[in-house]
Amino acid sequence: MTDLESYFKWEGVHLEHFYIYFLLAAIISFYLVIKSTSKFKIEMFLLSFYLLTGNINQLLTIKIPGLDLLQLQPLRILYLLLFFLIIRKTLLSRNKVQSTLNKKIPRFEVALYAYVLLLIISVVVNSSDIGIEVVLKKTIDALAFLVLMISLRLMADKPSYRIIGISIIIGAVISSVVSLLQLAVDPYFLRIGDDRIAFGSLIRSNGIFSTEYFNSYYLIIATAWTLITVKSKSLKLILVGLFVLGVLSSFQRMSWIILFLVTVTYLLYIQKYPVGKLVFIGLSGMAILLSISIFFFQDIKNSSLVQERLTDSVERRRGYYTMVIDNIGHKPLFGYGDRKNEVYYENMLRITGSRERATAQSGDLHSGYFSALYLFGIPAFICFTSFVLLSVFYYAKAYKSNLFFAIPFLVSIIYMIGNLTNTFLFLKYIAVLYAIHIGIGMGINKIQEDKKSTN
């Protein structure tokens, strides 16, 4: 049975709030699926529920003592269901399976497959050091990423994709409201995971997630869906405004930067908004923020938000990256496979002075690119970086033929920039969202190709 109370370290957390929310999310998912013409109702119900519950759905994990790999988690159940969908749509399909060898495969997809292959080779090569359980876990996570992406491409079903978009927007509305409640009313309302101070007595908002940057990036992705798919200008303005407040309440600087870049990209590159008007709006916004910050100057100056950045910012992270560069020469082809090794321990203990960081119990290398380099080697790093960059370039061009491609384009930008200072490899929630949107983009492309072939 699930041990919900083990997830909480604060007094006054009401478990009934989580049960109520899970029930609400299930009802919303059921309604969206029933009202939709989706061909994949069971898969869409579970995927919608997963998106609506953020990663607080980890509370629904059913633990099997001594068998961590066999834990029943909502995401693993979803992966399994989508894996059977792939089998059903290919091996068990009545129609002859079309070979993809005769079709033009996007370069980013080739880079992804190469990265996954190199990742698996890396963990197998390092299996004697990292253990078979780590090998299996990393391999399963990498293959699950592919399952998610490929299954959504095979669906090639716009009503299903519409359910995903609506679920993300509704989930973002709820998460934004929860974030504002956490900021202004009760800091531990629906909170799991982090309880990091922002400034004064304010704690960074997590929404329906375990950490503030998961919440922020989810809200930014919902902003992309809103900007592209919501037709009503007034509703679009209300939703985007609410999501912006949710992102601001996270007090996470990279999410603020990404929100700004995604908005500017949408306005200038997609909507061709006049630069002069955009500059005026930007300067007005900066003036308002500066005016507000004057009233809280001392609180902000003395806050943990600022002090933390002074002690764990450029210099320390430069130490992480230097450590990777200095040591990858010893294992250039396949890396170290995992962070739990003597090289990582000695260097991280020297850099941070924290035994928890050194033993990989907390924290990481604060970069998806450097993590790929250290863990899996130079060839894997090249493939991972190529995959991320090429997906951005691919959808930057593709949106001109179909505006819907702008969504995976903007999500690719989020993933690309987010990995500069955070690690979003196959183990992280943001990587799951990325796989979903890459799959949706490829599915839309498949729909267009099928239309061309029938004409």
The answer to whether 394 and 107 have CB atoms below 8 angstroms apart is yes
Q: How confident is residue 75, by pLDDT bands cut at 50, 70 and 90?
A: confident
Helix pair angle (368-376, 107-125), 10° resolution: 50
The SS3 call for residue 187 is coil
- Residue 398: what are its φ and ψ, rounded to 5°? -65, -30
In percent, the amount of the chain with pLDDT more than 90 equals 47
Angle in degrees, CA 155, 157, 161, rounded to 5: 100
Note the pLDDT of residue 361: 79
Cα atoms in the Cβ-side hemisphere of radius 13 Å centred on 178? 28
pLDDT, average across residues 199-205: 78
End-to-end CA distance of the chain: 55
Q: How many CB atoms lie within 10 A of CB 360?
A: 15
pLDDT at 373 over 50: yes
Note the pLDDT of residue 65: 61
Cα–Cα distance, 378 to 184 (Å, whole number):
46
In percent, the amount of the chain with pLDDT more than 70 equals 82
pLDDT for 76-110, tens place per residue?
889 899 999 999 888 876 654 454 444 678 899 99
Note the pLDDT of residue 102: 45
Note the pLDDT of residue 287: 58
Fill in the amino acid letter for 374. Answer: Y
Higher-confidence residue: 115 or 454?
115
pLDDT at 250 over 70: yes
DSSP 62: B
Note the pLDDT of residue 284: 58
pLDDT for 48-65, tens place per residue?
999 999 988 888 877 666
pLDDT, average across residues 247-261: 89
Cα–Cα distance, 348 to 316 (Å, whole number):
10
Q: How confident is residue 253, by pLDDT bands cut at 50, 70 and 90?
A: confident
pLDDT for 308-364, tens place per residue?
554 555 557 788 888 999 999 999 999 998 988 888 888 888 888 788 888 877 778
Mean pLDDT of the chain, nearest integer? 83
Distances, alpha carbon 263 to alpha carbons 129, 298, 438, in Å: 45, 30, 20
Cα–Cα distance, 167 to 162 (Å, whole number):
8
Handedness of CA 193, 197, 202, 207 (dihedral sign): negative
Mapped to the 3 state alphabet, what secondary structure does 96-133 carry? CCCCHHHCCCCHHHHHHHHHHHHHHHHHHHCHHHHCHH
DSSP 341: S
Higher-confidence residue: 139 or 310?
139
* Residue 84 structure tokens: 């059977």
Helix pair angle (107-125, 132-155), 10° resolution: 160
Q: How confident is residue 387, by pLDDT bands cut at 50, 70 and 90?
A: very high
- Residue 203 forms beta bridges with which residues? 197
pLDDT at 121 over 70: yes
Cα–Cα distance, 441 to 67 (Å, whole number):
36
Q: What is the pTM of this model?
A: 0.88
Note the pLDDT of residue 131: 86
pLDDT at 438 over 90: yes
Note the pLDDT of residue 315: 59
